[in-house]
Amino acid sequence: MFRVYFSSRAKRSLDDVTDARIDEVLKMLVTDPVPAKSYDVKKLQGMHDAFRIRIGDVRIVYTIIWKSSTILVSRIEKRGNAYD
């Protein structure tokens, strides 16, 4: 089991992009940190253990810290703003 933490930016964004599918993905991360079989998940280049999940036009960007079984969700943004 993984613990999921949100950056302050991700917490603010979560209110703006509420969607049942996003809630489902965030709950799934607790048991499956890379749910590639169920969602469009890609590893981000140039960043260590950083991934993004695409749900429609929303991107969830997060980092996995394997040693402590922790996931840090850094962004939940629309596509154009997710990688700034």
**pLDDT tens string 30-56:** 999 998 888 999 999 988 899 999 988
Look at residue 82 and tell me whether its pLDDT is greater than 70.
Answer: no
Whole-angstrom distance, CA of residue 43 vs CA of residue 33: 12
66 DSSP 8-state letter = T
Q: Give the whole-number percent of the chain exceeding pLDDT 90.
A: 52
**Nearby residues of 12 by Cβ (< 8 Å), 6 or more positions away:** none
Would you state the pLDDT for residue 32?
Answer: 92
Helix, strand or coil, per DSSP, at residue 51? strand
Is-above-0.85 flag for pTM?
Answer: yes
Question: In the predicted model, is pLDDT for residue 78 greater than 60?
Answer: yes
Q: Does domain 3-81 have CATH number 3.30.2310.20?
A: yes
